[in-house]
Amino acid sequence: MKKVSVLIALLLMVSLTAFGSAEEKQQPAFVIELATGGVMRGILYPEIAPQSVGNFIELANSGFYDGLIFHRVIPGFMIQGGDPEGSGRGGPGYSIAGEFTANGVSNPVRHTYGVLSMARAQPFDSAGSQFFIMVSDSPFLDGQYAAFGLVQEGMEHAEAIVSAPRNANDKPREDQIIQSIRVETFGVEYPFQKLSGR
């Protein structure tokens, strides 16, 4: 009887372990490779900003960002890229819903050092392909922009980009080129809705 009880207990433990691992999903992991050879790595937050994450994954893994530049860099603030025109006015031909408090969407991620967030025009649902990486804590952005990820490694490369000589429009005088961005989704799909717009 004792052997049977031990066996049942072991089977129960194995079942619970298997169930727990099946329920836990790995966060999508991104890699930003720069033309300089620098690499930034981090994770995305689909449970917080599913529209932003799904959009970023589709653009990144389709090669959309390959060869684009960080067109706006502001020391003590952030670096911005993802515009196919390199002017700050371009996008993928559509927009996505803004996932932040001012737009009625709960998003607890603070705009702290290393956070990845969606850039947008004045309308709340105008984000498209442009994103920015914080190089300083900027709480005034909280609740106003859709933070959706975090750079965990390689922020020294963001620091180098933000320190590049720039013109009066905060555009680096020498192009800061994104060689590629790819996201590992670990076999999970992240659907999102495209709106009309940029």
* String of DSSP letters for 109-137: ----TTEEEE---SSTT-B-S-EEEESS-
The verdict on residue 51 lying in a domain is: yes
pTM of the model: 0.88
In a domain, residue 116? The reply is: yes
Query: Residues 3, 6, 9, CA angle at the centre, nearest 5°?
Result: 150
Domain annotation covers residue 136: yes
Q: What is the average pLDDT score of the chain?
A: 91
Question: Tens of pLDDT along 91-134?
Answer: 999 999 999 999 999 999 999 999 999 999 999 999 999 999 99
2 in a structural domain: no
| pLDDT > 60? residue 3 | no
The enclosing domain of 165 has a CATH number of 2.40.100.10
**Which tokens hold the place of 166?**
């720039």
**Whether residue 61 has pLDDT greater than 60:** yes
The 10s digit of each residue's pLDDT in 134-181 is 999 999 999 999 999 999 999 999 999 999 999 999 999 999 999 999
In the chain, what percentage of residues exceed pLDDT 70?
A: 87
Please enumerate in sequence order all residues whose Cβ is within 8 A of that of 4, keeping only pairs 6 or more positions apart, or say none: none
In a domain, 197, yes or no: no
Residue at 99 is within a domain: yes
> Considering the domain boundaries, does residue 195 fall inside one?
no
Domain that holds residue 127: 26-184
Task: Report the alpha-carbon distance of residue 17 to residue 69 in Å, rounded.
Answer: 45
Contact status, residue 28 vs residue 188, Cβ threshold 8 Å: yes
Number of separate domains in the chain: 1
Confidence of residue 25 (pLDDT cuts 50, 70, 90): confident
Residue 121 · residue 90 · CB < 8 Å = no
Is 91 part of any domain?
yes
